């Protein structure tokens, strides 16, 4: 009899405990239960978009402010064994780089170089005028 009493007590206590737990949780399938929607925060997204636009604008300004690189051929030396030139004060040979441009050909009066993939020819110009040369 005592065993039966303990079994009934155990069943009753688990039933009561289960009912109190069920009563605390709302049923999501019920129509009268209102589930709050998550709050949208657009402010961080707007700030991120502003930062990206500001960075793009700054990059455009930096690109506009860059001055083009000028190359000056000052001297060439063409011999049977080697070809060298002086471009912007640097002694270069075929295959060398001067401020990002690759030297691809050296002649006695000109140098051909690749500037951003575009061939550019520099010519030697005399610093003496014709009048000074006749003296």
pLDDT digits (tens, 9 = 90+) for 36-58: 777 666 667 777 888 888 888 88
| Statement: 73-125 belongs to CATH 2.30.30 | yes
Q: Output 22 or 25, whichever has higher pLDDT.
A: 25
Distance CA 7, CA 99 (A): 93
pTM, whole model, 2 decimals?
0.46
Question: What single-letter DSSP state applies at residue 67?
Answer: P
Q: Does the structure show a pLDDT above 60 at 127?
A: no
Structural domain spans, the chain: 73-125
Mean residue pLDDT across the chain:
77
Distance CA 45, CA 54 (A): 14
């Amino acid at each position: 009899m005592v065993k039966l009493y303990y079994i009934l007590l155990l069943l009753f206590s688990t039933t009561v405990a289960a009912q109190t737990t069920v009563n605390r949780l709302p049923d999501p399938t019920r129509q009268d239960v209102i589930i709050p929607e998550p709050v949208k925060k657009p402010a961080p997204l707007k700030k991120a978009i502003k930062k990206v636009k500001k960075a793009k604008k700054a990059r455009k300004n930096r690109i506009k402010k860059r001055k083009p690189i000028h190359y000056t051929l000052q001297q060439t030396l063409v011999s049977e064994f080697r070809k060298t030139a002086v471009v912007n004060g640097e002694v270069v040979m075929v295959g060398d780089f001067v401020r990002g441009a690759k030297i691809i050909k050296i002649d006695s009066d000109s140098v051909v170089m690749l500037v951003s993939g575009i061939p550019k020819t520099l010519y030697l110009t005399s610093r003496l005028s014709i009048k000074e040369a006749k003296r």
